[in-house]
Every structure is written in C-alpha cells, then in structure tokens.
Structure 1
Amino acid sequence: MKILHLPTSVGGNAWGMSQAEKELGLISEVLIVEQNWLKYNCDYNLNLQGISFLQRVKVLYKWFKRANNYDVLHFNYGSSLLDFQKLGLVLLELPFYSKKQKIIFTYNGSDARDVHPIEYWDEIENPKKSLYQKIVKIVKKYKIKKVEKYADHIFALNPDLLYYLPSRATFLPYSISNWNEIKKYSYEIKDKIKIIHSPTSRELKGSDYILKALEKLEKKYDNIEVQIIENIPHKDALTLYQEADLVVDQVLIGWYGGFAVEVMKMGKPVAVNIREKDLKFIPDDMAEDLKKSIINITPFNIEEVLSNYIENNTLLYEKSKKAVEYVEKWHNPRYVAKIVKDIYEK
C-alpha cells in the first residue's frame, strides 16, 4: 500500500506518522507545498513560496496527476493541493481523484476550530470578531462540508475539534516528527528550577497570562529561572528543551500540542490547560492517565499551582515519571500508525 501525506508539515505530525507507517510495512511519503521556519522533515518540498500564482498552479497540477499513483492520500491541516482559500477556490481537486483511492483528512487545530475557541473568553477580553474573521469562519465551515462529502475518514488531533467536524470524525493522538531521536533524560533538578515556555502563537497559547505569572514567581522565589523559546528551527529548540525542569505549554485552548509530547518524552513535567468536558472524545484510560501525568492550569491559577510544585519539587519528579509513561503508551507512533492503518485497509 502506497500513502502520500500532504500538503503541509504542521506540527511534524505527517512525518512522524509516515515513519511509523514504514515500520508497519507500508510505503509512505510526505509532500509539502512550502517549508516553514520550524523546518520539519519531508520527502518532497515544492518550495512554492515567492512564485507567481500561475507557476504555482502549474506545479500543483503536475503533482495532482502524480498523486493518482498512490493508494491513499492523507491530507492534513484541512487543506489539499489545489486549495486557494484567499480566492474562495478551495479543495478544488477533491472530486477528481480516483474512486479507488482512499481520501483521509486530519485536522490539526485552527483549520477546524472557531477563531476564538477559548473556554475562558467571556472572563478575559472577549473581543468582537472582525469581518475577516467572520469570513474565515464561513470558509472553514464550507471546506469541512466539502471534506465530509469526499473523505473516507476524518481525524482530529485535538478532541475539541470534534465539536466542529462531522459526527463520523474520530480522535487521533499526535505523532511527533522525531520520536526515535528524542531520548529520556535523567530528571534531576539542580540549583534552580528551569521553567520553559515555547509558544508558536502567543495569542493562542495565552502567553500574556503565562509570562505575567512567571514574572511574579521569579520575584517570589530565588530558585527558579525562566526561559522563553520561540522563532527558532525545531532542531535547535529541542536542544534547549533538554535543559528544562518544568515546561508550560498553554492555558487557553484546552489541549496540549506536539511540543508537549516531545518534552514529556524527555521526562519533563508539563503544565497545561486541559478542558475536562472534552475528554469524552478520547479513550477513558487515556483520559485517566493524562490527569495523572500533567499539571492542569488555567489563566487564573498559574501562580498558585506552580508555587505548590516549586515549594514541593518531589511532585515534579513524580510528574516526570508519569509523563514518560503517558507518551510511551498513547503517543507511540506505532500505536498511532496502527489506528490509521486499520482505516486505510477498511
């Protein structure tokens, strides 16, 4: 069976899944239309940034024809090859793929989620949506409706996305791009507890609330050190993550990202906002294991919760152990690839 993952590298999920599919005996490749600053691996990079629209269409159409050589087309980030959202021309080629091919879609986050998906929005700022944001929401809904028509299966990497996707969509745990390269490090806190925050989007991660809380903690305790990591290549960031004693992911979205999976595999305790009501979408055992493995925070209790762990750092050692056990069980790429392979073969 020959699989092509396309057309983005968001979160490194496609590459991680592709590598695990190969381990299961499948032929699996990753195509991206352009690279981002994180520089995740891929098999084919079309490098379409900076070229004219006509040139772009020519290259994409060539790959559309070539895609017919694959048994499964696994699209990610709610997009396809001929997908020009700003022009209102979306998912153009979906009706024209062979009926013998399996069409799979994986949604990663903001490709399905509302513009402001935040549980606490009414309690913080609750900004009015601009006209542009309202249009984006309409386009997302239209695209999801079109995917529902042509996709054989739909996955969601965040449980809350299932509020926005068709009822037949199912939850799928993250696959990270470099599972075998990330090693567990012996967890040992030295003179200071090093706290790391590494946002890809400060707004969505709630970085303002996190940074204000961390600033207060730095004034309150002399045994902590805070480092913000952003806008650097993924491989460089991974090296810096190794130095963390505690990682703060996000406080608004209600789920964790691929970044959290990476650092948990290293044995780093993670503080993150997990929305209890969304856990109904994931396996019961996974939900129970998650509650034991992470430090659950909200925008309003970051300082209080983290103070408890700073003052009782034996709790951090316990979370370190649980974090590794959790990701080894629920985010092992072979486990995720087997779920996907079963869908491919149905």
Structure 2
Amino acid sequence: MRILLIGEFSRLHNSLKEGLQALGHEVTLIAHGDGFKNYPCDLSTRAQWCESKVGNVFRQFIYRFTKIDVAQHERGIRFWWHSSQLKGYDVVQLINEASIQTVPFFEQKLLKKIVRQNSKTFLLCCGVDYSVAQHLIQKKERYSIMNPYFENPKAAKEYRFIFDFLTPSHKKIHDLVYQNIQGVIASDIDYVLPMQNHPKFLGLIPNPVNISKINYADLEIKDKIIVFLGINRNTYFTKGICFFEEALKIIKGKYPDKVDVIITESIPYKEYITLYDNAHIVLDQVYGFDQGYNALEAMAKGKVVFTGAEIEFEKHYNLTEKVAVNALPDMTYLVTELSYLIENPKEIIKIGIRARAFVEKEHDYIQIAKKYLKAWNGL
C-alpha cells in the first residue's frame, strides 16, 4: 500500500511510518516539525522564512498590529507546493482535524484537494480538536487539562488554542473532515472518552513505539535517586507542571542526601529524550487518564513515570500491577508517592522493569502498524 501521513506533534506518525515500512509499505510523512521539537519528516512545511531572524521580525510586527500569524500562511503555501506529490495514495491519515496548520480557508481548500486526489482518508484523535474541546468544556470527566482554566485566571492565555477549535471557522473544517473520512481512531483512553459514541469512531489503537530505537537498561541506584522534569512553557498549565514543581521543593528539602533533581525547559525532542537517560523517575503530567507519547518513551527506557494511569487505563489493559505512577493534580499526593519510592528503591526497579515489558507488549510499533492496516482495510 501507499500511505500518506499528514502532521506530527509527538512521534506517533514517525513510529507508525517505521512500523508500516517494516511490513513492506510505502509511506510518506509531511509535517512542519512542531516548532522547537523539530520532529523529522519526508516533506517539510516548516515556515522557514517566518522562523528566520529577518522573517520573524516581520512576523512579530504583523502579529502585533493584526493578530495574524503569517507563519500559518507560509505553512499552507509550502504544503501547496508539495501537493502535486501527494496524490495516488491508498490511505491518507490526518494527525488532527487541522493537520496542515494553516489559516482556516486555506486548510479547507488543501484538505479538499488531498481527499480528491487520494483513495481513503482517516483521522486520528490524539490531541485537542472540536469534539475533544466540546467534551472538555462540558466538564464530563472528574478532571481534565481544563482544570487550571476553570480554577486559575492566569492560565487563560495557554488555553486560547482549545477555544480556537470551537470557533465557527474551525467548525467548518471539522464538518469537512468528518464528511470525507472513512473513520476516526483514538490513540489513548483520554480520546476514547469524547469519541466513544460517534458513528465514525473505529476504536482505540495504542500509540506505536519503536522500541528498537530506544535504549533500555535495568535501573541501578548506586547513590542518589535522580528525578527528571522537562518543562514546555506552552503546556505548563495543561500538564500541571506547577504541582510537580511544588512537590519537588518539598522532596529536595526532605531528602537532600538521597535525591538529585534535573529540570529542563523547552528543548528539542532529540536532546530531551537523551537528557533523562540517567534518571530513575520522570515527571510527565497530572491531568491524563492514559499515557501520552513522551511518557511511553520514558517507560520504554525503563523509567518510573508519573503520568496518566487511571483505573480506566488499568481495566482496559487488564493490569494488576503498576507500570507507571498515576499522577494527580494534588501536591500532597505527589509528595507521598515520591517519598514512598525514595524510601523503597526496590519498588523503583520493579516498576521500571514492568514499564518496559508493558510497552513491548502493548505498544510495539510493528504490531500497532498491523492494527492500523486492519482498521484502514475495514477488517
């Protein structure tokens, strides 16, 4: 099969591509790299001019007076330049409803072209889109990434992107996508919840992880326990980083001779995944029911990850032992969980081993690629 993957915001499409290629399929990935993360792709739509020194001055000047981000226009133009190469594919998969990341009118025009010149189109629900945003603002779950928005006025700026998905202009994109896709696939439990009653929902296919590219080593605790926190300022509130920061302040004071803390901020993906190699514990997010991509890669390395690991997740995978620590938006709870691990280092070793085994069993990129092929072929 010839398969076109549009968009990348984690490493999901890259790992899926590698799994599909291992099975003998031809795959093309087109994306803009997602800013400083700089994910690889075959065809780039990165706004290179707008991100250059001269172009960025012009970009900021225009945005200051018009609130228009010309980088969105550039991404659309670069996608259009590639469009003659984006035809004749058996399957197209969109990473998101707005996978091209250009202005709404151009997004619709380009999506129509993609649908018209290829066979079948599918959508991934693996981040915020119209359906997810609607679900979040209605407070349908016991907690969500919207908690800080409802509780802290200072967080409002970070949540503009969620409300962008509820605008009339994006609703037109949403409607266009759903009129033309054969189905929508959720990447984890967090996205099953908003989609489970939709007629085009094909179910959950877990995130693919290329474990052959991730170095694993059994955890050893020779001296201090190393705790790693990677901060992305763009997702500071939605990941609940403030709870981790407050918990770490207490932990450092409580165990000064037992713990080392590493904190990084907004670094490229390749650098990020190597910086926590020596860590025993990785702090990811507090508002998820299931793991996102960063958490899974850390688990594949055998780390103990504080992330989404709720009862819904445990039931889905029939788990009876911890493969990750379920992180909650509760500083006292986080301190208790961290303290237990620091005082019981053997448990860190055990969870790390189970974490790797879990990713190998449930997220192997080749086995996940086979599940996508079944979904795409209606099997």
Pairwise TM-score range, normalised by the shorter structure: 0.7 to 0.9
Aligned partner of residue 188 in structure 1, secondary structure: coil
Aligned residue number for residue 126 of structure 1: 151
| 1:92 corresponds to 2:109 | yes
Query: Deviation of residue 105 (structure 1)?
Result: 1.1
Amino acid paired to 2:96: Y
Q: Percent identity?
A: 22
Residue 106 in structure 1 maps to residue 131 in structure 2? no
Distance 1:77 1:111 in 2: 7
Matched, 1:47 2:29: no
- Tell me if 1:152 matches 2:151: no
SS at match of 2:128: coil
Task: Give the alignment's TM-score, normalised by structure 2.
Answer: 0.79
Aligned partner of residue 204 in structure 1, secondary structure: coil
Structure 2 vs 1, CA of residues 145 and 126 (structure 1 numbering), >3 Å: closer, same or farther? farther
- Cα deviation for residue 108 of structure 1 reads 2.1
Q: Aligned to 2:260, what secondary structure does the other structure show? A: strand
Conserved? CA contact 1:60–1:82, under 8 Å: no
Determine whether 1:183 maps to 2:215. Answer: yes
Counterpart of 1:79 in structure 2 is 98
Matched to 2:205, the amino acid is L
The residue type paired with residue 166 of structure 2 is K
Matches within 5 A, 1:31-46: 31-34=30-33, 36-46=35-45
Matching of residue 234 in structure 1 with residue 269 in structure 2: yes
Distance in 2, Cα, partners of 1:219 & 1:54: 49
Secondary structure at the residue paired with 1:3? strand
Deviates more, 1:157-166 or 1:47-56: 47-56
1:256–1:68 CA distance, 2 compared to 1 (3 A): same
Range with bigger deviation, 228-237 or 46-55: 46-55
Equivalent residues in 2 for 1:48-67, closer than 5 Å: 48-50=47-49, 57-67=76-86
The range that moved more, 213-222 or 28-37, is: 28-37
Aligned to 1:27: 26
The aligned amino acid for 2:125 is: Y
Contact (CA 8 Å) 2:208, 2:364: kept in 1 or not? yes
Shift of 1:180: 2.0
Matched residue SS, 1:186? coil
Q: CA deviation at 1:230?
A: 2.7
d(CA) in 1 for partners of 2:81 and 2:307?
43
Task: Quote the offset at 1:120 in angstroms.
Answer: 3.9
- In structure 1, the partner of 2:337 is 305
SS at match of 1:68: coil
Which residue of 2 is the match for residue 334 of structure 1? 366
1:219 maps to amino acid: G
Structure 1 CA distance for aligned equivalents of residues 166 and 74 of structure 2 = 29
Deviation at 1:164, TM superposition (A): 3.1
**When the two structures are aligned, how many residues end up with a matched partner?**
337
Letter in 2 for 1:228: I
The SS at the match of 1:103 is strand
d(CA) in 1 for partners of 2:94, 2:164: 23
Superposed displacement of residue 11, structure 1: 0.2
1:137 corresponds to = 166
Structure 1-normalised TM-score? Answer: 0.86
Where in structure 1 are there 5+ consecutive unaligned residues? none
- Give the residue type in structure 2 aligned to 1:79: A
Which AA in structure 1 matches 2:213?
E
- Residue-by-residue CA offset, 1:234-273 (whole Å, 9 max, x unaligned): 2222221110111111112333221111111111111223
Q: What's the Cα RMSD here?
A: 2.9
State the 1:123 CA deviation. Answer: 7.8
Change (3 A) 1:136 1:220: same
Structure 2, unaligned runs of 5 or more: 51-69
Once the two structures are superposed, residues 72-118 of structure 1 have per-residue CA deviations (whole angstroms, 9 ceiling, x without a partner) of 11111222448523xx6643344442486110111221235326677
Report the residue type matching 2:13 in the other structure: A
Inter-partner Cα distance in structure 1 for 2:118 and 2:46: 29
2:187, 2:231 → 1: CA distance?
Answer: 18
- Specify which of 187, 206, 214 is matched with residue 240 of structure 2: 206
Q: CA separation in 1, counterparts of 2:167 and 2:364?
A: 36
